[in-house]
Amino acid sequence: MKSMSPATHDLLSMLPLPEGLPRMLIIDDQPANIQVLYRLFADDFQVFMATSGEQGLETARQESPDIILLDVVMPDMNGFETCSSLKQDAQTCDIPVLFVTAHQNPDEETRALEIGGVDFITKPINPAVVRARVRTHLTLKRQTDTFKRLVFIDGLTGTFNRRYFDTQLTSEFARAARSRSSLGLILVDVDHFKLFNDHYGHQAGDDCLRAVARALRHTLWRPGDAVARYGGEEFACILPDTDLEGALMVAQRMTDAVHALGLAHETSTTDQVVTISAGVAVLSPGPGGTPSELVALADEQLYKAKAGGRAQVCGLQGPAPATLKA
């Protein structure tokens, strides 16, 4: 039997696997209704509950449920408004929302589906039907999640690819601009990689990139941080809500982790083992700013690290929003 390649193993390890119970969020202002649904799904789901639209939005962002059951009639923020807010947030927009309501108005059902709901279940509920519908939508979500991850995975290293990086950087840059928070970026280059390939061969070069990618991923401790293969022997790491000190710490962990691999590099003029150089930039995006500005700043710092002898980290805090180009 043909064994699984390291790249395939890495790729599969990043796909969403059904570990433990799936997560469900029930949003309803009536505790009695919540209890009915809780008893129906408690054995098969990790259930979270919210009694208002605002609380539901906060819980959805914090807990990242796999599926949401949402009432329509609630005070302050109704179900339609809650669903619209969920769909406008990049963090929650892909969570399937099933409306569960006593209303049987076709116009309301149409509205629920038009704003992003995937189903409209009327009360009193039929437990078997509700369970079947939830199971169907959960299966569809997991299939979609798997497909999306495959599209965004680099086949060689098992990290995210350049397509994911470009998409995620644009999204995080816009989010940082809205929230007036800082966004960090690390660009990493494997030192003297052409010499490594020429000396050890391309297969060894591929193995080296896989090992470096694994080491970089293991230095990230927050769910929102991500490493992507930027191109060739270059990697990039997006760090939301991170100041310069924090980004420099992550970059230093990366350089230390790769050095600790102890991968022999006899032709390197920097060290006897494989090393990396890292350029760090942190920016608080302002109006008119673009992600390319952050990339350019990080690239300048990477060049500085390489020009300064390699196997080191250089970083820079970007200009204040008022000085950014329009």
Residues identified as active-site:
233
- Count of residues for the chain? 326
Q: Shortest CA distance to 255 belongs to which of 202, 300, 312?
A: 312
Between the alpha carbon of residue 169 and those of residues 130, 137, 174, 204, 293, the distances in Å are 38, 29, 8, 31, 11
SS3 content of the chain, % helix, strand, coil (to 5): 50, 20, 35
What the block records as the tokens of 309 is 């002898």
Cα 291 to its chain centre, rounded Å, is: 17
Helix (H) or strand (E) holding 240: strand 234-240
The answer to whether 57 and 85 are in contact (CB under 8 A) is yes
What the block records as the tokens of 235 is 């990697």
Helix (H) or strand (E) holding 161: none
The answer to whether 89 and 69 are in contact (CB under 8 A) is no
What the block records as the tokens of 294 is 């952050």
The answer to whether 104 and 63 are in contact (CB under 8 A) is no
Tally of CB atoms within 10 A around 29: 20
The answer to whether 236 and 187 are in contact (CB under 8 A) is yes
The bridge status of strand 276-283 relative to strand 183-190 is: antiparallel
